Amino acid sequence: MTYSSKLQAVVHGSRTVLCAGLDPVPELLPPELRSQGLSESEMAVTFCRRLIEQTKTGVAAYKINIAYFEALGVDAFYVLNDVLDAIPSGKILIADAKRGDVPHTNTRYKEAYFDRLGFDAITLSPFMGMDTLLPFLQDPDRAVYALTLTSNPGAADIMTRTFGEFATLSEYLAALMQKTAQQHPGTLGMVIGATQSAVYGPVMKANPGAPLLIPGVGAQGGSVTELAHHLRYHEGIPLINVSRGLATYDKGNPNTWEVQVASNTDQFNKLLEPISKYYLQPPTGSGHGGQA
């Protein structure tokens, strides 16, 4: 099964484009975990496993932020393996690693994240050139989400600046990635921040078939209404990631943390329903409908 086919099947099966971000930040873990005398590694595993349990019927994918696991030191990959084992089969697994190096180095990253750990997709930086992405684009069942227009304010330093005949560097990158994607069996998608509504329309149009990984909804305040407007005619299936919005403990809420996570998942699915519905329609060959 190709990545595009799996993505479409998972979105249809889960009835949503919601992606849960797994970011085990120690200081943001619920008090009920931090009060148990667990080590950081034990807390990370417990946090992720409980979050997965409360979200597994309401998300299509999990995005695992590798930085929070690497910060655990020598336990990092043991913890990561335990977390991966807890994710139900059939979900899209994204390594949010943001790697970007010369091809022979990226070949080793590809072996680590695709061949050894079994991720379906990875986030990469394209800023050393398209050749750095190629080691990850040789397998039809795997995908790259390349940083194209990120949600952080610093994106304005580089990504939204004019580049040649393009209104932004991000638009140029999108067009370049479209050409690159046509030459390789792997899927090449884009990371586009939901906070960039003033400029992301032309970026999506420059590469309309690309699957999208969209952070910035939830704690960062990206507008779902704006996303729905621009995605209406985008063919590539989006995964809309929410991390803190699902997992942060609200001490003013009388419910347990796990109940809060389940409730947050339901609320985000309702919020994203207009977008999810676009991609649950049968493929039409033009406009939305699950063409990736």
- The predicted-structure confidence for 12-36, as pLDDT tens digits, reads as follows 999 999 999 999 988 778 888 888 8
Half-sphere exposure of 144 (CA within 13 A, CB side): 30
* Number of CB atoms found within 10 A of residue 286's CB: 10
pLDDT digits (tens, 9 = 90+) for 233-273: 899 999 999 999 999 888 889 999 999 999 999 999 999 99
Report d(CA 8, CA 120) in Å as an integer.
Answer: 13
The residue annotated as part of the active site, out of 56, 98, 205, 277, is 98
Please tell me which residue, 87 or 35, carries the higher pLDDT value.
87
Superfamily of domain 3-279: Aldolase class I (3.20.20.70)
Is 269 in contact with 11 (CB distance < 8 Å)?
no
Is 148 in contact with 177 (CB distance < 8 Å)?
yes
Look up 98 and say whether it is catalytic: yes
Domain ranges of the chain: 3-279
pLDDT of residue 291: 38
Judge whether residue 58 has pLDDT over 50.
yes
* Number of CB atoms found within 10 A of residue 214's CB: 27
- Where does the pLDDT of residue 283 fall: very low under 50, low under 70, confident under 90, or very high at 90 and above? low
pLDDT digits (tens, 9 = 90+) for 99-125: 999 999 999 999 999 999 999 999 999
Mean pLDDT value of segment 209-216: 96
pLDDT of residue 284: 53
- Where does the pLDDT of residue 282 fall: very low under 50, low under 70, confident under 90, or very high at 90 and above? low
Q: pTM for the complete prediction?
A: 0.94
pLDDT of residue 156: 94
